[in-house]
Amino acid sequence: MAKTARIPFNDKKLVQLALTAQPVYPRYFGVEVCHDGTPRTLPSVGGITYNVQIGDSAFGWVADHIEPGVSLSFPSSKSSQQKALNHYACIGNTATLISGAAKGTKGVIVGHHGGVEHVMVDFPQSQLKKMTYDDKVLIESWGMGLASVIHSDITFHNIDPRLASKLFKQDAQKKIHVSVTTTVGGELMGSGLGSMDASSGDFDIQTADPKCVKKYNLDCMRLGDVVCIDNFIHAYGWSYQTGHVTFGVIVHGDSFLSGHGPGVATICSGPKKAFIIEEKQNANIGKHLLCGIYR
């Protein structure tokens, strides 16, 4: 195995900001018709979720788009604050409860979900039943604008520099080494495509085709897994482009809806030749952040 070292980042130049948010009530969408024509009414996005956390399977829940841990938002009447929350809160940032019975409890940002504009945070499960939807959370934002000082053709997104330094290493030839649980064919990407603002939110791996689910071992995915999307570039929105790869984190569970499935929040993208990709079963952010089942 090649000897690797830390990638030189511009992290000392990045601005650190305080953000506040509140747990958001779970959304109810009523009866929805699934990709097989079956009508279903299921738990979905939002909420203080007691039994779904980072490291758990992204499949098998009697739910649709289920989000791990605590989903945060800002009152819908404050659209500018909501947009700032979703852009500035990066995976790996520290989050602290600053009110309520669990005041002082620390957690970590583990993803954000486009469309509903939620930010998800992992708190110790022992504290979840002390929380209410009136609690407030302080996020120590750090990471927007992260870049390598020597890899100008590689972009980083939505990730705390401390986590980026753990997930991405470089060798003597300046090749970037990264571990993923699986590499997904870009042809499977669905909901979220067309967005010009891919630094907030996610895009979904379509799971309606059982043969593709088996081919890419999609049903083995866990929340928090780091995955590679083949032939995709994320520099200015998500685009299918051969010769490029995008790395992301699984941020929400599977879906029964057409064009949907587990959500991927981008953390890095660039030319495929710049990376050495190794598939490892335990390539999950929870292992590095000591959260979820890894706590």
Provide CATH code, domain 149-289. Answer: 2.102.30.10
- The torsion angle over the Cα atoms of residues 125, 136, 27 and 122, rounded to 10 degrees, is -30
Distance of alpha carbon 41 from alpha carbon 33, whole angstroms: 9
Distance of alpha carbon 16 from alpha carbon 146, whole angstroms: 12
- Averaged over successive runs of 10 residues, the pLDDT of the chain (295 residues) comes to 89 97 93 88 94 97 96 81 92 98 98 92 96 97 96 95 97 96 93 80 92 92 98 87 96 94 96 97 97 96
User: What are the DSSP calls for 25-76, one per residue?
Assistant: PPP----EE-TTS-EE----S-SB-SS--TTSBSSS-SSSS---SEEEE--T
Question: What pLDDT sits at residue 144?
Answer: 95
Summarised one tens digit per residue, pLDDT across range 90-134 is: 999 999 999 999 999 999 999 999 888 899 999 999 999 999 999
pTM for this prediction: 0.96
Question: What pLDDT sits at residue 31?
Answer: 86
Summarised one tens digit per residue, pLDDT across range 198-240 is: 778 899 999 999 999 999 999 999 999 999 999 999 887 888 9
Q: In the chain, where does the domain assigned CATH 2.102.30.10 lie?
A: 149-289
Distance of alpha carbon 177 from alpha carbon 179, whole angstroms: 7
Question: What pLDDT sits at residue 129?
Answer: 96
Distance of alpha carbon 183 from alpha carbon 225, whole angstroms: 11
Question: What pLDDT sits at residue 85?
Answer: 93
Beta bridge partners of 240: 232
Question: What pLDDT sits at residue 77?
Answer: 61
Provide CATH code, domain 13-141. Answer: 2.40.10.170
Q: In the chain, where does the domain assigned CATH 2.40.10.170 lie?
A: 13-141
